[in-house]
Amino acid sequence: MRPDGVLGPDAMPTASLPMYDLPELRGAHTALWAGIARHLREAGVPEVPAALCMERSAGGAWADPDLLLSQCCGADLTGAYAGRLHVVATPRYGAPGCAGGSYRSLVVVAESALVESLEDVRGRVAAINHPQSHSGMNALRALIAPLNRDGRFFSAVEVSGSHSASLAMVASGDANVAAIDCVTHALLARHRPAALAGTRVLCRTAPAPAPPYVTRADTDDTLVLRLRAALRAVCADPKLSAAREQLLLDGVETLAPSAYRRIPAFARLAARHGYGTLR
């Protein structure tokens, strides 16, 4: 996409909503995108993807020079993709741990574990979904940082690959603790309750801005406004109430550009405690 927001002659725009893409939610995401696309066309946007790109990796979508709309982790926005993505809007989720445009992580342990505080998991094994995840790693690191001794708290940190896999590791005893995005936790509770079996919530991390809807950094300001208006419209569309309810989506907010600086602030807090690496 050129800086004026117009696609090149051979380019096709792309869209994805990968952050909470449980198989059980494919229909809801498809319906939500159909609504967004309709509002964009009505607003005069000439090239709108007919469907979401669901099979492509999230990183591949975010790096696409013809990206129209996606959703990313705040850690990706301020980290690996800093300067490459532009925030369109921040979702408001109706999940325990969310307030306005913010969310938290829920620190989970085994349901039967004799654990009453974070101190009780010292020297145990932590599971994280990804080393660059805010909800699975960054938020947990900031929470643990004041408790570390000589830069260490856990005996090991295992990468599971997803929040649901982290939950499975805790339930099976392969890990003792994990931080789970509260929206993911609530969606699993509703659509896949067995995924939470054998686990319980110990505590919560500090809040941070929820994973934002984004477009390419060089997207024209007029198109950004049209994308934002389309998101607001689908969040008010009574025909999409069932899809929004399945996704726990209550609306969208426009946060100050500085809001996502909160994400790297978690890392700086940990560093001040000499705990730059979760371990």
Residues 106 and 203 in one domain: yes
Residue 278 lies in a domain: no
Q: How far apart are CA 66 and CA 106, in angstroms?
A: 35
Residue 151 lies in a domain: yes
**Residue 204 φ then ψ, to 5°:** -120, 155
Residues 229 and 246 in one domain: yes
CATH of the domain at 152: 3.40.190.10
pLDDT for the residue numbered 77? 96
Q: How far apart are CA 62 and CA 76, in angstroms?
A: 9
Q: Domain containing 31: what range?
A: 14-93+211-261
pLDDT for the residue numbered 257? 83
pLDDT of 3 over the 50 cut: no
Residues 67 and 79 in one domain: yes
Residues 36 and 166 in one domain: no
Residue 8 lies in a domain: no
pLDDT for the residue numbered 260? 97
Q: Is 10 left (phi over 0), alpha (psi -120 to 50) or beta?
A: alpha
Residue 2 lies in a domain: no
* Whole-number Cα distances in Å, 117 to 50, 87, 144: 49, 36, 11
Q: For a pLDDT cut of 90, what percent of the chain falls above it? A: 92
Residue 4 lies in a domain: no
Residues 19-38 pLDDT 10s = 999 999 999 999 999 999 99
Residue 145 lies in a domain: yes
Q: Which residues pair with 71 in a beta bridge?
A: 213
Task: Count CA atoms closer than 13 A to 195's CA, side-chain side.
Answer: 18
Residue 8 confidence class, pLDDT cut points 50, 70, 90: very low
Q: Which residues pair with 87 in a beta bridge?
A: 214
Residues 202 and 250 in one domain: no
Q: How far apart are CA 252 and CA 231, in angstroms?
A: 7
Residues 180 and 217 in one domain: no
Residues 71 and 119 in one domain: no
Count of positions (residues) in the chain: 279
| Sheet with 14-15, edge to edge strand ranges | 14-15, 67-71, 213-216, 85-93, 249-253
pLDDT of 5 over the 70 cut: no
Structure tokens at 241: 């109430």
pLDDT of 9 over the 90 cut: no
Residues 45-86 pLDDT 10s = 989 999 999 877 888 989 999 999 999 999 999 999 999 999
Q: How far apart are CA 145 and CA 141, in angstroms?
A: 6
Residues 22 and 67 in one domain: yes
Residues 194 and 59 in one domain: no
Query: For 130-155, what is the mean pLDDT?
Result: 98
Helix (H, G, I), strand (E, B) or coil at 159: strand
Tokens 């800086």, residue? 3
Residue 10 confidence class, pLDDT cut points 50, 70, 90: low
Structure tokens at 224: 């950004």
> Over the chain, what is the mean pLDDT?
94
Name which of 8-12, 26-30, 241-245 the model is least confident about.
8-12
Residues 168 and 234 in one domain: no
What is the torsional sign of CA 145, 139, 134, 125?
A: positive
pLDDT of 108 over the 80 cut: yes
Residue 277 lies in a domain: no
Query: For 215-237, what is the mean pLDDT?
Result: 97
pLDDT of 1 over the 60 cut: no
pLDDT of 275 over the 50 cut: yes
Residues 221 and 184 in one domain: no
pLDDT of 107 over the 80 cut: yes
Q: Which residues pair with 86 in a beta bridge?
A: 215
Residue 200 lies in a domain: yes
Structural domains in the chain (count): 2
Residues 226 and 179 in one domain: no
pLDDT for the residue numbered 176? 98
Residue 11 confidence class, pLDDT cut points 50, 70, 90: low
